[in-house]
Amino acid sequence: MKPLPILLPFSYLYGAFVAFRNLLFDLGILPVTHLPVPVISVGNISAGGTGKTPIVELIARHLMAHSLRVAIVSRGYRRTSTGLVVVSEGRGAQVDAESGGDEPVMLSEKLPQAIVVVDEKRVRGATFAVDQLKADVVVLDDGFQHRYLGRDLDIVVMPVREILANDHMLPAGYRRESYNSLQRADLVIVTKSDGGTSTRRALDMLTGMNVRQSACAVLRPVAWRIAGVDLRIPLEESSGRNVVAFTGIGDPAGFRQTLQSLNVTIQRMVTYPDHHWFGPEDLDSLASILWQTKADYLVTTEKDLKRLESRLDRFKSFVEENPVHVLEVQASMQEGASVLDELLHTLFHEPI
């Protein structure tokens, strides 16, 4: 992103404020609450889609596979509710995306045994998950800047292009913190890798920033799910199909690239702001585009589906009249899996 010169002074002021705030935490002036169970923070230093949520899912799956009761705690960005909301007690989603947020509801459905709690006061939400819901470990989603809650493991997620771009701080750029802040992370996981020279350059740059340890993860398509029915179909079913894609996520370009890798012909790509709530006019417009292009079906992401489903008055009829396929994805470690395993091992003093 090319910065607007008029915004650069505000970026410098913002950066100074963030640095001063971090100093207050480092000196122990601002309070930090520590829980009696391990806390793993997964966050980033920029606004926009970084692939953080799939990493949260990957870590939670790993922990649950070793019989640990995992609580995922986040603020529930762009939800319509306030305060503490229990999205799941470990039996799947109890609320819709409007009350719980699209990402927490999605995670509670993909990980039905996980506790999922949202609260703008993360300390309160995490404490509730441990004291009342008996969590063995807390995974703090989007927690790198939320230093009021002490963490035993700090993981930062950064896409390759973000590392290479050397972007400015908000509001001229997208970064929430300076690259120097990465030095307090235990692990930086590079995402959206092409496995080529750009990924290697990004990893080398992290080494030059004195990052403690780094790893690389990739996001892989798993299957298609037909919206409105409990039916999953193989990825190859979409090969050669004509589709209309729509999404309101932080990285729509990444979604486009994934679709193209599946040999899907995109007749039209409709993008909305991140965490967009679909209204009747949006659904009417999508139905019209599907009819005009004569595409086989609409395609979207799992997060978009959660927001679409929250419109119960229109969702059922919409997917009955307009076929919608949802792309399921899952993160996997491409490089540095043993590094992540070892860090988790040190938290519990036993192999996990």
Question: What pLDDT shows up at residue 116?
Answer: 98
Digits of tens for pLDDT over the chain (352 positions)? 455 578 889 999 999 999 999 999 999 999 999 999 999 999 999 887 778 999 999 999 999 999 999 999 999 988 999 999 999 999 999 999 999 999 999 999 999 999 999 999 999 999 999 999 999 999 999 999 999 999 999 999 999 988 998 788 999 888 999 999 999 999 999 998 877 788 999 999 999 998 999 999 998 999 999 998 878 999 999 999 999 999 999 889 889 999 999 999 999 999 999 989 999 999 999 999 999 999 999 999 999 999 999 876 789 899 999 999 999 999 999 999 999 999 999 998 665 5
**pLDDT, tens digit, 9 for 90 and up, residues 103-157:** 999 999 999 999 999 999 999 999 999 999 999 999 999 999 999 999 999 999 9
Give the CATH fold of the 5-218+332-348 domain. Rossmann fold (3.40.50)
> What tokens appear for 117 in the block?
């709690």
**Rg (the chain; Cα; Å):** 20
Farthest CA pair distance, the chain = 62
User: Can you give the residue ranges of every domain in the chain?
Assistant: 5-218+332-348, 221-331
Question: What pLDDT shows up at residue 229?
Answer: 87
Q: Tell me the three-class secondary structure of the chain, residue by residue.
A: CCCCHHHHHHHHHHHHHHHHHHHHHHCCCCCCECCCCCEEEEECCECCCCCHHHHHHHHHHHHHCCCCCEEEEECCCCCCCCCCEEEEECCCCCCCHHHHCHHHHHHHHHCCCCEEEECCCHHHHHHHHHHCCCCCEEEEECCCCCCCECCCEEEEEEEHHHHHHCCCECCCCCECCCHHHHHHCCEEEEECCCCCHHHHHHHHHHHHCCCCCEEEEEEEEEEEEECCCCEEECHHHHCCCEEEEEECCCCHHHHHHHHHHCCCEEEEEEECCCCCCCCHHHHHHHHHHHHHHCCCEEEEEHHHHHHHHCCHHHHHHHHHHCCEEEEEEEEEEEECHHHHHHHHHHHHCCCC
CATH 3.40.50 fits 221-331, yes or no: yes
Same fold for the pair 5-218+332-348 and 221-331: yes
Q: Are 72 and 116 in contact (CB under 8 A)?
A: yes
Question: What pLDDT shows up at residue 115?
Answer: 98
